[in-house]
């Protein structure tokens, strides 16, 4: 790992925050950060390994989850899709015998149709995402991890499955043997992400409590991104998606078991070894926190209400400031 440069001046404590995230879990903390930080200070970088072509449309599930969440349009029950959604399209499609395992609400459909049209007209996913974010009034910047296609493929007990077939159609049932990110090796990281990581005004990088294997690893698989993170002048902090050995939602703990990884905070810390300067974990894991080889912040990490999201965002930012002072001061 390359040597880390640290800023020691107090001004370094303010500035831009980059957050890496997937969908539902990531979006919760993204919302907290968005509410706490001054407008324009947050750059959210989303996994696009889950993107796929469906019914002729380009669907970007994680980007959309974060976008709807920040725009106040998210469905509070599911965490994905839009609130107050109607389903006439889906019913009509089913009546025609069309594929109905992936649910697309009527309002949501407009996002995919318009994204697909713009991609076809030659716009980049970055430009389209920025346009949607502006139209929906987002205060934070939202970026796909790359404009080049990356497709997460899950090698399972039932064969190799495109991500959405594993996740949605088969509800994460098959045992995972290996996860691949097809195309990642030749997908340039979003240039805006690389310049944010190299910029003098970077205050903190947050790895949201997204699924490390399915949502964060695709981002880390982009060429040069690990090095850019390791070299960046600001602290890098991860928030654990596990609470007392269980995922709050989704297959993270199940996948860890299937891959022979213990479902512990130590395993999460190890997963991000060489990249993070600190780990934020839940009070339920306070005992384990004492034995971790990196700085930790112990707090409530379960985000049920908006207040929970905001409180956790504040804790993460405070922890970042402490780490920055520590590292900077040691130099």
| Interacting residue ranges for ligand GDP, rule: CB under 6 A | 21-26, 28, 62, 65, 209-211, 215, 239-241, 243, 247-250, 252, 301-303
Task: Check if the beta carbon of residue 34 is closer than 8 Å to that of residue 50.
Answer: no
List CB contacts of 72: < 8 A, sequence separation 6 or more. none
Burial level of 88, CB count in 10 A (0-12/13-18/19+)? exposed
What is the footprint of Ca ion within residues 266-295 (CB under 5 A)? none
Shortest approach of Ca ion to residue 173 CB, angstroms? Answer: 17
Residue 142 contact partner, candidates ligand GDP, Ca ion, none, CB within 5 to 8 A by sort of partner: none
Residue 226: count of CB within 10 angstroms of its CB: 15
Q: Which residue, 23 or 241, is less far from Ca ion as judged by CB?
A: 23
Task: Check if the beta carbon of residue 150 is closer than 8 Å to that of residue 183.
Answer: yes
Site size toward Ca ion, by CB under 5 A: 4
Residue 24 contact partner, candidates ligand GDP, Ca ion, none, CB within 5 to 8 A by sort of partner: ligand GDP
As a dihedral over the C-alpha atoms of residue 304, residue 305, residue 310, residue 315, rounded to 10 degrees, the angle is -40
Residue 211 contact partner, candidates Ca ion, ligand GDP, none, CB within 5 to 8 A by sort of partner: ligand GDP
The radius of gyration of the chain's CA atoms, rounded to the nearest angstrom, is: 19
DSSP 8-state code for residue 311: H
Shortest approach of ligand GDP to residue 280 CB, angstroms? Answer: 8
User: Which tokens hold the place of 11?
Assistant: 């001004």
Shortest approach of ligand GDP to residue 331 CB, angstroms? Answer: 31
Q: Which residue, 204 or 268, is less far from ligand GDP as judged by CB?
A: 268
Q: Which residue, 21 or 37, is less far from ligand GDP as judged by CB?
A: 21
Residue 26 contact partner, candidates Ca ion, ligand GDP, none, CB within 5 to 8 A by sort of partner: ligand GDP
Q: Which residue, 25 or 105, is less far from ligand GDP as judged by CB?
A: 25
Residue 21 contact partner, candidates Ca ion, ligand GDP, none, CB within 5 to 8 A by sort of partner: ligand GDP
Please state, in angstroms and rounded to a whole number, the distance separating the CA atoms of residues 110 and 107. 5
Shortest approach of Ca ion to residue 62 CB, angstroms? Answer: 4
Please state, in angstroms and rounded to a whole number, the distance separating the CA atoms of residues 15 and 203. 5
Q: Which residue, 228 or 313, is less far from ligand GDP as judged by CB?
A: 313
DSSP 8-state code for residue 216: I
Residue 249 contact partner, candidates ligand GDP, Ca ion, none, CB within 5 to 8 A by sort of partner: ligand GDP
- Name beta bridge partners: 289: none
Nearest Cα neighbor of 241 from 259, 258, 253 is 253
Please state, in angstroms and rounded to a whole number, the distance separating the CA atoms of residues 229 and 24. 23
Q: Which residue, 235 or 250, is less far from ligand GDP as judged by CB?
A: 250
What is the footprint of Ca ion within residues 30-69 (CB under 5 A)? 50, 62
- Binding site residues, Ca ion, CB under 5 A: 22-23, 50, 62
């Amino acid at each position: 790992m390359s040597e880390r440069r640290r800023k020691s001046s107090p001004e370094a404590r303010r500035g831009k925050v980059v957050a890496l995230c997937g969908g539902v879990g990531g979006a919760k903390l993204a919302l907290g950060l968005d509410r706490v930080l001054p407008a324009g200070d947050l750059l959210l970088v989303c996994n696009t390994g889950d993107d796929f072509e469906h019914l002729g449309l380009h669907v970007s599930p994680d980007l959309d989850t974060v976008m709807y969440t920040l725009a106040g349009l998210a469905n509070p029950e599911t965490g994905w899709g839009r609130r107050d959604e109607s389903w006439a399209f889906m019913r009509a499609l089913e009546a025609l015998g069309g594929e109905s395992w992936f649910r697309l609400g009527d309002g949501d459909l407009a996002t995919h149709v318009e994204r697909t049209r713009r991609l076809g007209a030659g716009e980049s996913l970055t430009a389209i995402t920025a346009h949607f974010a502006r139209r929906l009034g987002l205060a934070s910047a939202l970026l796909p991890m790359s404009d080049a296609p990356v497709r997460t493929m899950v090698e399972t007990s039932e064969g190799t499955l495109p991500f959405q077939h594993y996740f949605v159609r088969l509800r994460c049932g098959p045992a995972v043997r290996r996860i691949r990110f097809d195309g990642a090796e030749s997908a340039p990281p979003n240039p805006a992400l690389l310049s944010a990581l190299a910029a003098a005004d970077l205050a903190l990088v947050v790895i949201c409590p997204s699924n490390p294997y399915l949502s964060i690893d695709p981002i880390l698989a982009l060429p040069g991104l690990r090095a850019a993170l390791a070299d960046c002048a600001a602290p890098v902090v991860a928030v654990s998606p596990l609470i007392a050995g269980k995922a709050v939602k989704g297959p993270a703990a199940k996948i860890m078991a299937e891959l022979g990884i213990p479902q512990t905070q130590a395993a999460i810390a190890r997963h991000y070894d060489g990249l993070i300067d600190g780990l934020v974990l839940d009070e339920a894991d306070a005992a384990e926190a004492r034995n971790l080889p990196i700085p930790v912040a112990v707090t409530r990490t379960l985000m049920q209400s908006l207040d929970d999201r905001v409180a956790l965002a504040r804790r993460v930012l405070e922890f970042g400031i402490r780490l920055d002072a520590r590292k900077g001061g040691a130099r």
